Structures are given as C-alpha cells and as structure tokens.
Chains A and B, each alone.
Chain A
Amino acid sequence: MKNLRKISQGIFLLIFLFLFIQTESKGRDDLGYPVKIFLDFDPLILTTTVLSAHHAAKTFYLSIIAAGITLIFGRVFCGWICPLGTLNNIVSSFKKWRTSAVNREWYRVKYYILIFLLASSIFSLQLVGIADPISLLIRSLSVSIYPMFNYSVRAVFDSIYSSDIRGIVNVSEPIYSALKKTLLSFQQPFYIQSAFIGILFFLILGLNLVEKRFWCKYLCPLGALLGLFSRFSILKRSVSEECASCGACANVCQGGANPDKKEEWRDTECLYCWNCDDACPQNAVSFGFSREKVAASMDLGRRRVITSMAAGVVAVPLLRVNPLSKSEFIHARLIRPPGSLEEKEFLKRCVKCGECMKVCITNGLQPTVIEAGFEGIWSPILIPKIGYCEYRCTLCGQVCPTGAIKKLTLEEKVKVKIGLAMIDKGRCLPYAHSRPCIVCEEVCPTPKKAIWFEKAVVKDRRGKEVFVQQPRVDLDLCIGCGICEAKCPVVDSPAIYVTSIGESRSKDNRLLMDRY
C-alpha cells in the first residue's frame, strides 16, 4: 500500500508541476491545458467563494467530486493527492524519527482556522487563499520558488557561457536550450515580495522537521474541511484482537490519528496513508468499508469554536476600517488585470493563488503589498514599469479560478480600460528637453492611437529652433495598458505613466464626464 500511495503522490505532484509549468503563453490565445484544475477540485475555495460572493465558477463543481471522494474514502486527498501534502511528506522523510515521536494535541488548530475563514467569508471577507494549500502552493511557486529556480539555473549556464571555454559551452548550451524548452520559464520572472512569500513557504516546509506533516496535521484549513467530511466516510480502519499494543503504528502515522489507541482512532485526522497497516507486526490493522462507528468523537470545545468564529467576524471590520475601503479613495496605482470585477466584488472572489501572475506574459502582474489594503494582500496588480498588459492577450482571465478576473474574448478585452496614461511634462523629452522622442506613440497598441502628437517648434539652449512632436493622450481611446510607461526611455521614473482612474470596472473611479 505504501508504494502504491507513493506512486499516486508522485503522479499527482508531477501532474501539478507539469500544469504549473504549462501556465505560460506559447504565443497562441489559449494555453491548451487545464492549468488550474487543482484549484477547481478544491472544495474549500468553492465553499468560501459561495459564502463571500454568492457565486461559484462553473468548473468549481469539480470540487464536489473531491468532497464526494472524501465522503466515501476519507481524507485520501491529503494522503494520496495533495501536492503540498506530498511535499510535506517528502521533507518529513529527511529526518529520522525516533520511536518516541512527538505527540502534540494541536490538531484542533486547523479547525479553528477553518472556522475563522468560514465565518469571515460569510461576512464577505475572502482570506482563504492565504492558507488554502493549493492557492498557497501555486502562489509560492509562482512568485518565489520558480523564479528562484530559474535564476539559479540561468546563472549557472550564463557563467559557463561567459567563461567561454569552448568545449564546455558546446556541451552546456544544448542542455540549456533543452531546459529552456521544458522546465525553464520563457524569461526570468521577478516579483515584489518574492522573498517574503518564499520564506513563508520554506517555513511551512521546515515545520516538517519539527513534526511530520506539521502543516497537514495542525494548520491546513482544507485538511480540516476534508476531515469534517471524513467523519462520514465509510472506509474505516479496524484493529483485530491480535493487536499487541506495541505502538509501531503510532510511530509511522502521518496524520496524528491515534492509531495505537484502538477505540480512540481519529477518523478526521487519518490521511489514509496505510502506514499503520504496513507497519503492524501482527497484521492486526485493516481498512474496510463499514457503517459501524469505530472512531473517537471529535471535541473542539464550544468556547474555542465560538472564539474562532468571533475572530473571523471581527476580522471583517478590522481589515476594512481603512480609507482604502472608501470607493473614492482607490489607490492610484491599483491597476487590476483586464476583466477584473469591481473592486469590492473582486476582493470577495480573489483567492490570491497567483495563477494570473504566473501566466502574465510580461511579468507585469505582481502581488500587492498594501495597495488594496490588508484584505487584498497578494491580489494581482499591474505594475506597468515591470510589464505592461499585452493588448491582444486574455490569459489572466482564462486561468482565474474564481472569476475575479472575467474570461474575456479578444473583442471584449481590447475595449476594457484598466486605467489611463498621463504625461509628466516635466520629464517628457519633447516637452521638457526639446528632444524628439515618439516611443509612447509608436508602441501604443490601439488601432487608432490613443497617443497623438501636437507638432511644435521649440528652442534649445542656444536658441536654435527644434521641431518636435509632443505626445498627448486621448482619454477616450486610452485603455491604460501601460506599454507606453513600460517602454518610455525615461526609465527610472517614466515620463508617461498609468493610474487606475477611468477603469471600466468602476463606477466611481471616473475621469470623463461623458461616461456617465
């Protein structure tokens, strides 16, 4: 059973990683792979999104399958499928565990976290992605681990290349180009907060050295939800008379399910790893379908349940009593991806999984710090200086699991305004420095260009007349894609920049009167 489980874990982890790497443009309009399918199978995201936004993306009904499997087989998702669980499992195995394994009674914590998340989502606060294992894993990989991996591999091959020892380069370059075609990203990704998000991820992995599958046992809210379903499962563990109470099973248990205490076995904590079955010297352990109640009852403690519920409720106003919640106080630089819902609705749905950031062609989609308040931390923001919104690309809407970013057709997408460009005349070359420059106009992608020229004859220092074309922005045509800002030759602080005003998703963040 152990080997079978490992094979299953390995296959699902590989599928997950494969789909993660495929979350990248190949130049066509769609990706050709169901890259977000692990999120679609996540019943925790479905539950909180339904609670907070009263909406569920169609594909999310797949998660009912995951819930159904748990109802029949128990938490097999955690033990056999979950890619974060598998990683935790792998790291746990780095340490030799002595017989007297740690035995903490913290398993209830994850239920409190779950209750907190559910309570806050009832009051429209969507925080689930911070702790949901699939969101957490995709975000950590997208924003930190995968960029790190790319950086290191590129650094190695680049230094070999520049060392210019001919023999080596002839060998290394084919390897490098093969890697580029398969494992590496098209270009080196860079993200704000990559270090912070990466450290959090390493911390979660590191906890496995404190105790086997620390995250899965004590913290994972999805594990908790599946644990609740698991109570009803009909696949149960039973121990025969032969049991000599040797404790061998307790040492190998991955979930803190009390396997050695026959009647006290916790079905909600069992990951169905079958380790106890494999380890039992008496062959006394077996799993089978049964309607009999064999497990320990779960007592979360009324007071603590109420406390975590209350905390979830209190979190809502706590996070919202900052001016950013006022519609007219929208952050100027909070440029959301095209197709994003109106901000409040957006925040109810966005789970900060980072799929949109991973797929963004130009690397312009970045995790917010506080631009959207604490509530919106790690939600996507376009930072045009890093990367603009490619005019004919609709990928972010295609990979968003919750519909926070709507899936747009190309025709719809090119009409969506995500902001407006403004020119800083004090820095713009033709305005401030009598030098020709037309880059913003040249790159402006709207068929009739949103940037137009006012022809002017200006004087340079010596009084010589210079003919320049001074760029102006047509506020009706500009869609705020930010390519002008990204390609402006005034690189440190571009002379043309995009702010969120005029974004089509907002009724309040308006500039032009004739739009009312």
Chain B
Amino acid sequence: MHRREFIKSAAIAAAGFAIPHSIDTLFSTAGAFEKVDLAVAHGASPSKITRAAIDAMGGMKKFISRGDIVVIKPNMAWDRTPEQAANTNPEVVAEVVKMCYEVGAKKVKVFDRTVNDPRRCYVQSGIADAAKAAGAEVSYVDERKFRDMDIKGEAIKSWPLYTDIFEADKVINIPVAKHHGLAKLTMSMKNWMGVMGGSRRQIHQRLDESLVDLSMFIKPTLTILDAVRILIANGPQGGNLADVKKLDTVIVGIDQVAIDSFGATLFGMKGSELGYVKIADKRGIGTMDISKLKIRKISV
C-alpha cells in the first residue's frame, strides 16, 4: 500500500464528513438526513464501527423491516482464524445480526458454501459461534436447496444458486477485503460465489464476467465490507500474519460496485483496475467512479 496515497484519499474523504457528530444526529432526528452513498467507519472496535457505519447510512431501520427474514452472507470459505483475515470478521457479522433483530427481523440466517471443510470453516472463522450468540440461525449449506436459475448473463446463462437467498426478504452481503490471484482483489461481488452450487470452479475461465452476471442477479439490500483486517498478499486464504494489515475500517453501502471500487483504494489500487468493477460499471449495476459518490467518514 502506498501510504501517502492512502492518507491523501483519506484526507480528501475526511473533508466530506467533517460535520460535527451532534449536528449529524440533529439532521437525522429532524428527518433531514442527507443521502449518503457510502459510510466509512474507522475505529478499534469492529462491532462499534459496524454499527456506526450502518447508522451513518440511515440506520438499520431503513433497510430491514419488522418481520423480515434476513440472509446474511459473510465470507467464511476458509479454515482460517479471524487474525488471518481470510474470512469476514466475526464481530462485524454478529453486530449486523444484532442490529437486524433490534429493528424487528423475524429470523436472520447465516451460511456460506465453503471451500475448505465447512465444519472447520464455520468454527475456526469464529463466525458460527459469534452469529449464533447474536441469535442467528447458522446452518450448513444443504445441497438439495440449490436450484438452477436463469441468470441470463454474458458468461453464465444459468447456474444452481442457493434458494434461501431468493426466499429471504432481505439480503445483506458482508465480504472481507483481500487479495486474489485472478480477480486481484475480492470483495462484495466475488462473495456471491458462496451461494453458487455445482462445479463453481469453472467460472474462473471467465471470472470477471461471471461475477458481474451474478451481481446483476442477486440484489443485496445492503453491503458491508469488512476491512478490519485486510489480506494484502497470498489471498484468498493467506495464513501468514505478515500479509495481514489492520485497517480497523468498515464500509457500508448499497451499491456493490461503489463498495468494491472504494475497497480497491484500501490496497492502493483504483476500482478501474479490477476487471469485474469495470464491467459492472459499464453494465450499469453501480458506480465505479468514487469521486461521484457521497461518502461519509466516521471515527469511533
């Protein structure tokens, strides 16, 4: 990471949220809440920054209604521990679960189709325990629940996807930001591989297009990018703590493309350097140009 660039971009963005916190609350209570595209929270506690970022987007109430069945899709594909930053931070996931219940969600489901053994991934990532403690229904993927769906994309015409995603009232995507050998970086759009059934390894032949196809088909209510720790090399599973960088940051938004484009800056890259972000922008899923976005930054 080019530190200077990071500081610079952080400074520019910081100017955008230099409104005092009290006024901020005043606005929201007055109902004159300004529309924000991305909320970026920074701080030592993963759960606090998660809550702060969601609040900055207008609060969970804006996204989840009473009685909703919510699917939360973290990345817990690997048999790695939280420090190794290969999976989503468990505290972030647990906080989102809690917030969903706070606004009256009926049920919150958490699952992922893992790459390593599911039992180990669920336990070692810390996500199963944390999410369960927060009241979520954590289950292993049931192979019978994949159904062929007409994706009608450029690379993927149809693919078996997990039905729970489509039966849920709301879907919240919680990826972790990290390095990847082919996609360069993986964040929110790539996280949808975890709801693919069948022999998903084949999509690497046209990965960028496939990810965009999926992201057009699955429309999350909210995307929360975990950058508490990011993996800057040897992704997507890492294993060496020297490849992990602690950023203590969580980014929340609705636009998957914007999130991933912003996420790239955490690695000193531009969104346009990522094939899937570029294609997604061109196909109108979201906005790659982060200079056009209203970004609110918060420190907790």
Contact = CB atoms under 8 A, between A and B. Distances in A.
Interface of A: 25-28, 158, 161-162, 186, 361-362, 390-393, 429, 435-439, 441-443, 445-449, 453, 469, 487-489, 491
Contacts of A26: 119, 123
Contacts of A27: 117, 119-124, 128
B4 interface: no
Contacts of B243: 447
B83 to A, nearest CB: 12
Interface stretch (B12-20, B198-206, B220-228): B198-206
Given A25-B117, A361-B117, A489-B199, A392 B124 contact: yes
Contacts, number: 82
B182 A442 contact: yes
A485 to B, nearest CB: 12
A25 B201 contact: no
28 contacts: A25-B117, A25-B120, A26-B123, A27-B119, A28-B123, A158-B144, A162-B144, A186-B119, A361-B119, A362-B117, A390-B116, A390-B117, A390-B120, A391-B79, A393-B79, A435-B205, A436-B205, A436-B206, A442-B181, A442-B182, A442-B204, A443-B115, A443-B237, A447-B234, A447-B240, A447-B243, A448-B234, A489-B201
Of the four ranges (under 10, 10 to 19, 20 to 34, 35 or more), the interface on chain B belongs to: 20 to 34
Nearest to A28: B123
Chain A contact residues, majority secondary structure: loop
A189 B119 CA distance: 15
Given A25-B117, A489-B199, A445 B234 contact: no
A373 B119 CA distance: 35
A438 B202 CA distance: 10
Interface string B141-167: 000100000000000000000000000
Contacts of B206: 436
Given A361-B120, A429-B205, A442 B236 contact: yes
Given A25-B117, A436-B207, A447-B238, 18 more contacts: A26-B123, A27-B121, A27-B124, A161-B144, A162-B144, A390-B79, A393-B79, A435-B205, A437-B204, A438-B204, A445-B116, A445-B237, A447-B240, A447-B243, A448-B240, A487-B115, A489-B199, A489-B201
Nearest to A390: B117
Given A25-B119, A469-B181, A392 B201 contact: no
A423 to B, nearest CB: 15
Nearest to B238: A447
A392 B120 contact: yes
B79 A392 contact: yes
Interface in B23-57: none
Contact of B182 (A25, A438, A491): A438
Contacts of B58: none
Contacts of A437: 204-205
B59 interface: no
Nearest to B140: A186
A186 B143 CA distance: 12
Contacts of A487: 115, 201
